[in-house]
Chains A and B, each alone.
Chain A
């Protein structure tokens, strides 16, 4: 009896399980705090599943069952079915485009027997598996451009379909796979370029395009002047400099204005502009403002659990889904928020630790994928509640209300734990 039990949980990484449970329970408590009204009959609400917290408890139960099933599955199952699951995920996304249901302006939900389900959440898992499968295959040489392009395509094809479903926020998450690819050998210069790219986009949005164009011209002229010796030695350098200059100018002069008028939706443009302080649109600022009031009013110690006035009285919108961090910020203050963030950092670092101890590339890539997705969700979600990022609706992992999201993150983490337990095997 004892021996079989020991065998059953052998190799499980308890710190991650502990952090997982802590975050989900904090999540349920926060959703409860956001919904609880002084005179509610809590037990009745839990039994009748008519509140978000009671439904989240149910999803937690379902997630634990999923976790158990995954734990009892053979690791080889995941490597063997990675590509199949990816193809299935893509089909599901296309299916949603056809027969999906509109919920809050995005066409990304399937309705199955009264439950709403968002396949775009689940395909993160499929994509992560497929990417791990591809990068670990013996034929893949990740130093080659061809392999890098294929890997990028695996990550971005689902994102493209999700953008067509008007769920741009979730689509952005797929860019987090570049962090995985960086770990697997994508040149660091690409990160620098990506960072410069972000700076370029921001400046293109904030500064008048003609002013920017002048600045670029001046910088280019100076660079050429100071590098004239190097250029004389190697003519191709001049071409590179002029190429970069031409790219930046075209980007600022044509690409950004085009994207703003033709590609992005009106409301997205408005949110970005509000975010950058260019426009003061009451509707777009309302959410962020209420959220900042709630968090800001928490002070150092917080108001105490269930004592928050902002989240309790419906001033904060979407308070159990995208803005769940408001409850933590208001009820537990700065101290609580820092501890809360600490839990996430611990989880992320532990996942990276687990990733690095893998022998098979498959498991390592997969684990880094989990870390990247969780990190990206965390960074964007918290930033939007405190006014650092525009409001793009992506949930806080394990904490926000939502069955699709909770189940996806559970599966992501437990598949990783399963792979980790079998780290002595070579998985491809």
Chain B
């Protein structure tokens, strides 16, 4: 049998040999006939110059450049060639002593060896660079000036979103994921700069230059046949409105907390404020490491992005979600009422309600606009105790927490800046552990009014408003709307529509009506904007902290969530002002001003006074402010900027 097929074996052997002969012929030409490859590899004949690409720019939704690239210079050293130079003169220009000089050379050898370049002095100030450039010929070829791009931020806003760039750390250099980086390279270390590093960075180019015997470049080798141009990083186009962002940061001045504003129709984030904040220009150039330490140490924690990293009990702003679950499970209808007489007595300890007049919770709409605690405590218990799930412990709470997960709570939603917090949605296992197996719907009744164990990030609260406004769907909130010449799949997940738990349209209508009443006639009247229907919900989250080792009640956090225009929402907002009391007082005006600014482009003259009051209000703890150096730091950034330009 195999004898029959023998010639085929020969054919296959011939194919293999043919291919190998082809390869060897090619190698013969490459390695023996052609001489220019050998010359290119010879460092003594041809100078290889790395050309750094310019990093991608980030634009806001109106095509304004939020940041730009400036060029500063590094002095780099190749220790093996740094001989016979006027060390004393170089030290004088750099303002260092001989000992320091020696230390830096040794440091360079330890880091990269003798024949590779290491940074000797990073990001030289302008005057030092000027002096050095004049006398550079004295120190070559051991020393060289290499241009580096640093970022500058004309709007001085959105620091925590944009992030910053810095030199790659030695640990990262050892990691294979960063194998394309060399020592001294810059990369995004936080925020969007980090998430989109792969598209922003661009590709380094190489130029081959012929050198003369004094090591001076004499022009392109082989007419630049072997050069490859640097390719600039790709630009990012954000959904962020930088003016809205600046406006939000002004509104939050003197307060602690955050604002998140999202376009419900795309999931694009319009503004994300975390207060107190800092000027992003503080983290550029040679002052980055000093300022970074100061900012991280500051008592007000400005580098902590409260919009995605802080979690709060949502308080009454959570009631629309409670209503949606109740409606969808069929335990209530929009006309369901509850006879609240000022408190909820269903469990052993009464839960107080702000209202006691009869009929303030006669149906869902009224209950929402009056924010009746009794009503929602009752609806929560009805939902989790529902017989069709076999009661709270058999499946009721599990079902309820499934709803919460589909609303985007209890897990990272997936925004495109790093370090998002998860928040907490209690599950049966959670309570089993907490109460050692002995719990029921009364133990967790506070969930009905957004208190207790459940916590959300402001981003999750704003996203929940997108779900209500869109009547049951959302896009993962994100900043980057498009990447120029995109060939990645980075943005795919933000184009996908997420449908939430298939809750009926009538359920949403009932909730939206209740929420428009909140602003029309209920607890959130201060949020009204002329000519625009707003759906909103106030909230006051009780806040406990550990003071002197004891659980103590601290001043409440104010919260407000809203979306507008109610019929066809273009903006959904969540605002948290920490330790400032009742939600309608500060949170609602801030949310309302944000929506007005976005929808109408300016604040009406009637509301200018309100805007001014809000901006000037300080709710920060004076003791904390006294210890903080944030203001003086931010001022120094402004002085530095104005001083150099």
Contact residues of A with B, CB < 8 Å? 37-39, 50, 52, 102, 105, 179, 182-185, 188, 191, 265-267, 282-283, 285-286, 289, 292-300, 309-310, 313-315, 317, 329-330, 333-334, 337-338, 341, 344-345, 348-349, 352, 356, 358, 364, 368, 371, 375, 379, 382-383, 386-388
**Contact in complex: B24, A341 (CB < 8 Å):** yes
Q: Return the contact of B43 from the options A52, A309, A337, A349 (Cβ within 8 A).
A: A309
User: Could you tell me which residues of chain B, from 39 to 53, have a CB within 8 Å of some CB in chain A?
Assistant: 40-43, 48
B16 in the interface (beta carbon within 8 A)? yes
**Contact in complex: B176, A52 (CB < 8 Å):** yes
A45 to chain B, nearest CB (A): 10
B407 to chain A, nearest CB (A): 24
25 pairs, CB–CB < 8 Å, chain A vs chain B: A38-B114, A39-B110, A39-B113, A183-B12, A286-B203, A289-B226, A295-B27, A296-B36, A296-B38, A299-B38, A309-B41, A310-B41, A330-B41, A334-B32, A338-B24, A341-B24, A345-B16, A345-B17, A349-B16, A352-B9, A352-B13, A356-B9, A379-B19, A386-B23, A387-B26
Query: Beyond A299-B38, A338-B24: 18 further Cβ-contacts under 8 Å?
Result: A50-B174, A182-B11, A191-B11, A282-B229, A292-B37, A294-B41, A297-B37, A309-B43, A310-B41, A315-B48, A329-B27, A334-B32, A338-B27, A341-B23, A349-B16, A379-B19, A383-B23, A386-B27
Bound Cα distance A315, B41 (Å): 10
Contacting residues, chain B, for A37 (C-beta < 8 A)? 113
Bound Cα distance A38, B489 (Å): 40
B15 in the interface (beta carbon within 8 A)? yes
Bound Cα distance A297, B31 (Å): 6
- Indicate with 1 or 0, residue by residue over B44-76, a CB within 8 angstroms of chain A CB atoms: 000010000000000000000000000000000
Bound Cα distance A283, B231 (Å): 8
**Contact in complex: A297, B203 (CB < 8 Å):** no
Contacting residues, chain B, for A298 (C-beta < 8 A)? 31
Which chain A residue lies CB-closest to B228?
A282
**Contact in complex: B31, A334 (CB < 8 Å):** yes
Bound Cα distance A3, B145 (Å): 72
B116 in the interface (beta carbon within 8 A)? yes
**Contact in complex: B30, A386 (CB < 8 Å):** yes
Bound Cα distance A286, B19 (Å): 25
**Contact in complex: B28, A334 (CB < 8 Å):** yes
Given A289-B228, A334-B27, CB of A297 within 8 Å of CB of B9: no
Bound Cα distance A340, B93 (Å): 54
Given A185-B5, A289-B228, A293-B37, CB of A349 within 8 Å of CB of B13: yes
Contacting residues, chain A, for B48 (C-beta < 8 A)? 315
Contacting residues, chain B, for A38 (C-beta < 8 A)? 113-114
Q: Which 4 A-B pairs have the closest CB atoms?
A: A296-B37, A297-B41, A282-B228, A334-B31
Bound Cα distance A341, B21 (Å): 10
Interface secondary structure of A, over-half rule: helix
Bound Cα distance A296, B26 (Å): 10
Which chain B residue lies CB-closest to A286?
B228
B180 in the interface (beta carbon within 8 A)? yes
Bound Cα distance A338, B31 (Å): 12
**Contact in complex: A182, B20 (CB < 8 Å):** no
A181 to chain B, nearest CB (A): 11
Contacting residues, chain A, for B337 (C-beta < 8 A)? none
**Contact in complex: A179, B31 (CB < 8 Å):** no
B232 to chain A, nearest CB (A): 11
Bound Cα distance A185, B8 (Å): 9
Contacting residues, chain A, for B15 (C-beta < 8 A)? 179
A308 to chain B, nearest CB (A): 8
Contacting residues, chain B, for A286 (C-beta < 8 A)? 203, 206, 228
Contacting residues, chain B, for A102 (C-beta < 8 A)? 489
Contacting residues, chain B, for A364 (C-beta < 8 A)? 2
Q: Return the contact of A337 from the options B31, B114, B176, B229 (Cβ within 8 A).
A: B31
Q: Return the contact of B31 from the options A295, A344, A352, A371 (Cβ within 8 A).
A: A295
Contacting residues, chain A, for B16 (C-beta < 8 A)? 345, 348-349, 375
B485 to chain A, nearest CB (A): 9
Contacting residues, chain A, for B5 (C-beta < 8 A)? 183-185
B47 to chain A, nearest CB (A): 14
Contacting residues, chain B, for A387 (C-beta < 8 A)? 26
Bound Cα distance A334, B114 (Å): 30
Interface hub of A184, A358, A375 (most chain B Cβ within 10 A): A375
Which chain A residue lies CB-closest to B487?
A266
Bound Cα distance A371, B113 (Å): 44
B34 in the interface (beta carbon within 8 A)? yes
B34 to chain A, nearest CB (A): 6
- Indicate with 1 or 0, residue by residue over B290-307, a CB within 8 angstroms of chain A CB atoms: 000000000000000000
